[in-house]
Structure 1
């Protein structure tokens, strides 16, 4: 089972291109779209929306944002509770 180096797509039928480098590493590209975006155009797979790497980075970014918002909400609620308790005294 080969996994495309650029988009992350798994292929069992091994259609596509295997690129062997001089250092012995093998890169598999499922389509010419992936091969051209990586080699010819030099694009970063984390910035291309249809790649698996983009989705992983996006998910991590959303999780961090949710954590940040939750921390801010808890801090705000604590401050509000402190103000109410200070007024009652």
Structure 2
């Protein structure tokens, strides 16, 4: 996981648990940490979809949008893999 994502996971974990993640087993909740990771994964996926939609919105009317469409389809496919992220 990139350092920025790891930092974001730690921030969310703190909000969920009202404590810092410990470094030793038993000092932190694995379940809450996994939930924080899921939140960050979904957040990143949504940002990617929104970025692809922005590119589509900003493309000139007569532009070849093939790559943008492929990017959107790839992002939607990835979102579909997040089913069951409960």
TM-score normalised according to structure 1 size: 0.37
Larger % of strand: which? Answer: 1
TM-score normalised according to structure 2 size: 0.38
Higher relative contact order (CA 8 A, sep 6+): 2
